Each structure stands twice: as structure tokens, then as C-alpha cells.
Amino acid sequence: MTRVPVRPQYDAVVGLDPRPGSEPGFAFVLVKLTYEIEGATAVLSQPEPLLFDFWSDETLKPRFPPGSDYWLDKRCSDVVVRGSAFAWGGRPTPSMFVSAQIGRAVKRIAVFGKRLVEWSQGRPRLSRPEPFTEMPLLYQNAYGGLDNRVPIPAQLEEDYMRTVALGMQFDHPGLYPRNPAGKGYLVLSDPVDGVELPNLEDPADMLTAERLITRKPELWYRQPLPWCFEPTVGLTFPRYLFMGLDPWFPAPEDLTLPEVKRNFVPAHLRGRLAKDHDLAAGYLQEASLGMVFAPPIAGQLVTLTGMHPEEPTITFTVPSAPSIEIEIEGERAGLPPLLTNLVILPAEKKFTAVYCAKTKGLRRVFIPGIHKNIPIAARINRDAPIRYESPPTIHDRLLAAGAAS
């Protein structure tokens, strides 16, 4: 389902709490602005549409695609960079660095050309990287993957094969929980040919020949973190921890877990979730490790290096949020917007910013499908109102079905 922006300057939608199973508890407004980077200045440009409305678009595949603009309960700002590493001057290079800096926070990625695991007398080593001119910054090129040689425990094999037959396979004892789509993850020490090494690595935690093989699948958590700027997938570690899920082999929850040591997730999260359900909101933050920021980030300088084919550095300042007003039954009030998604496309010198604003409640109950006209509208930067589109009522749908038959 293709969406068309509602205004020449932005896209926006106004709605009611869409969560199933209860009466709507709030009204919300989503606004998406698109900017071009001219010099070091962000200039409004033709708007991109809001992406992936999983609340109402049942055709989405996967059902909850990464990078949706429709998460309504985020607490922080996700910053995503979509692009490639470009060798300076177009001259092939075997390795380079790219970085994204937002304010004082910096995330760097070491980028390598194609490398393979080589074997000498049964021991692995990392081959020299091949020169490249462009390397996509995708999780498929980061550390991870599947060592399918790891056996399924005998007592679980029948159940596992049943889930595979039903198309429900999403875990395996040889799967790297942090990034199943990546490359380079090896558990067993038997030599195997053709294994590619990751093109993207954390410069502070590089893969070495000595740590290439885990030898025990339950020791996966000691391996390097997958280092990328892309949004994460919901069924990956540590994001699914916030939903109370665990990998095949649960990881420790103390400082021996790199995500805890580096303050990406709280220590002892499982127990804390049982006492504080609000912590589950951490699942909604889709940005990669180190790219989730406490608000506000407006006014922060963004500097990107190595991700444009002709310019070594791109800079811009995060713009101020738009003003958002909501009108309910003739009463208008301003709402504080939260920047939920900042998505940067450095090769295009462009970025989008999505803001979410919500009421704290509703003075009376509105039920889509029951009430024919729900008088709610939003104004963005004092523009003409964007009105809530009430869905057909159950009564109207029954009448239409009767007329059609």
C-alpha cells in the first residue's frame, strides 16, 4: 500500500490509540519532514511518506518491518544511517573507517573488502581483504550468521523439525542471536571452506583468528557485536530481551555481557522487567547499538565521514521540531513532539525526521467503528487542519454488505 504525503511540505497523520483490546486512551499525531543537506544547512524538500503502518496495513511483509514510522510509545530518538562506505577518490582500498557523530557521541565502523577464513594445519586465519570502492553498510555484511553444523539436542530434534515444517523456524543452536543475517560466525573447529568474514567491524572489538571459533554454542555472547548503522530486527538479541524472550542459550545479565558493560542494556533486565513493565518500551527502539539518544537532540551537530562518493565529510544540525497542535471537539492544545526516527541517507545528502505527539488522555470515549464522526484534527506549524478520518461504522458496513447481497 503506497502512501501519498498529505501536504507539499510534510506528511502527517492524526489518529486514535490503535492498540487492540481496549477503548482508545489517547489521540496522536505523526509528522514526517524531509530535508536536503546543502553545504552544512538542512533545507526542507519534497516530503517522503510515512512508512510501514503496521496498525492498519495487513499486507506488510514482514508484519513488523524494521524502520517503521508508526511506533507510538518510544521514549528516545532512533538515529539510522542508510548507505555505503566509499573509498576516497574512487581509488580501491582494502580497508577504511566510516563514522557517525551526533553531538559528542561517535560511532565508528572499520570496513574491509572481501575476506575469507583460511586454514593452515587445522587452524583458522583471516585472509587479506580485497580492495573495494563501495561497501554497503548492512547487517548482512556485519559479524554474525549461522553455523548449521551445530547439532540439535536429541531431546528437542522432533519438536524443532516440526516447527521447521510449519515454516516457523527462527532459532537454532548454531545461530548467532545478535545478527542471524551476518557472516563469520563459527562454532565448531572442523575446517570448512568458503566462509566469508565480516566486512564491518567495531574498531574497539575486532575479530581475531584466536576468537574466530567459539567451540561451544553457549559461548556466543563472548563474540564481537555486529556493528552497523541500520535499524535492528525485532527477533534479535538484545532487542527481544525487552519482550521477555531469550536466545537458545541465554546470556549472562551482568558485566560479562558486552551489552551491559557498554551500557546498551540494563543489567539483570529479566528480573527488572517483572517489577517494572515500563522497561518493555526498550523494545520499540530500533536503532543499532549506540545510536539511541535521549531527547532532545535538536540543535546537535551531525557529522558523517566516508559515506559519500565525492565528499569525505557531511555535516548538518538537527532541526527544531515542528509545532503540533491537536483539536478535539473544538478545543485546541499544543502537544510536545518527540523525534522518534532520524534517518540519514548520506550518499543522497538527505535525511528524514519523524515526530510523534500524543495527548495524555481523552476527555470522553471515542470508539472507531461505533461513532460515525469523531471531531479530531491536527495542525502542523499552524497549517490547515488535517482531520481524523473516521472508519465506516459497523452499522454502515452491515448495510453495505446487505445491499451488495
Task: Reply yes or no on whether the pLDDT at 12 is more than 90.
Answer: yes
Residue-wise pLDDT tens digits, 284-297: 999 999 999 999 99
356 vs 50: CA distance, rounded Å: 12
CA nearest 292: which of 140, 71, 84?
A: 71
17 vs 50: CA distance, rounded Å: 17
Task: Reply yes or no on whether the pLDDT at 313 is more than 80.
Answer: yes
149 vs 213: CA distance, rounded Å: 13
DSSP 8-state class, residue 329? T
114 lies in some domain: no
Task: Reply yes or no on whether the pLDDT at 77 is more than 70.
Answer: yes
Instruction: Judge whether 226 and 290 are in contact, CB under 8 Å.
Output: no
Determine if the peptide bond prior to 296 is cis (ω within 30°): yes
369 lies in some domain: yes
Mean pLDDT of 170-199: 92
Residue-wise pLDDT tens digits, 105-139: 999 999 999 999 999 988 999 999 999 999 999 99
Task: Reply yes or no on whether the pLDDT at 171 is more than 90.
Answer: no
**What cell does 138 get?**
548492512
One DSSP character per residue, 150-206 reads SPPPHHHHHHHHHHHHTT-----TTB-TT-TT-EE-B-S-S--TTPBPPSEE-TTS-
**CB within 8 A of 372, min separation 6: which ones?**
390, 393, 396
Mean pLDDT of 368-374: 73
- CA 103-104-106 angle, 5° bins: 100
93 lies in some domain: no
Mean pLDDT of 140-164: 78
- Residue 323, class by beta-carbon neighbours within 10 Å (0-12 exposed, 13-18 middle, 19+ buried)? middle
Residue-wise pLDDT tens digits, 30-74: 999 999 999 999 999 999 999 998 888 888 888 888 899 999 999
Residue-wise pLDDT tens digits, 316-364: 999 999 999 999 888 899 999 999 999 999 999 999 999 999 999 888 8
- pLDDT of amino acid 165: 56
Residue type, 165: A
229 lies in some domain: no
- pLDDT of amino acid 158: 64
57 lies in some domain: yes
Choice among 48-57, 168-177, 266-275, 337-346 with the minimum mean pLDDT: 168-177
DSSP 8-state class, residue 210? T
Task: Reply yes or no on whether the pLDDT at 7 is more than 90.
Answer: yes
Instruction: Judge whether 80 and 229 are in contact, CB under 8 Å.
Output: yes
**CB within 8 A of 402, min separation 6: which ones?**
none
**CB within 8 A of 24, min separation 6: which ones?**
16, 17, 18, 362, 365, 366, 367, 368
**Which domain, by its residues, includes 32?**
1-83+316-405
- Averaged pLDDT of the chain: 90
15 lies in some domain: yes
Residue 217 pLDDT level (bands cut at 50, 70, 90): very high
Instruction: Judge whether 109 and 304 are in contact, CB under 8 Å.
Output: no
**CB within 8 A of 22, min separation 6: which ones?**
none
Residue-wise pLDDT tens digits, 395-405: 556 665 555 55
- pLDDT of amino acid 187: 96
284 vs 164: CA distance, rounded Å: 28
Q: Looking at the 3D structure of the chain, how many domains does it have? A: 1
97: enclosing H helix or E strand? strand 95-102
Determine if the peptide bond prior to 124 is cis (ω within 30°): no
Looking at the DSSP assignment, which residues form a beta bridge with residue 102? 105, 302
- pLDDT of amino acid 329: 87
- pLDDT of amino acid 235: 87
- CA 163-169-170 angle, 5° bins: 140
1 lies in some domain: yes
- Residue 261, class by beta-carbon neighbours within 10 Å (0-12 exposed, 13-18 middle, 19+ buried)? exposed
- pLDDT of amino acid 168: 47
How many beta carbons lie within 10 A of that of residue 167, not counting itself?
7
How many beta carbons lie within 10 A of that of residue 291, not counting itself?
23
Mean pLDDT of 89-116: 97
326 lies in some domain: yes
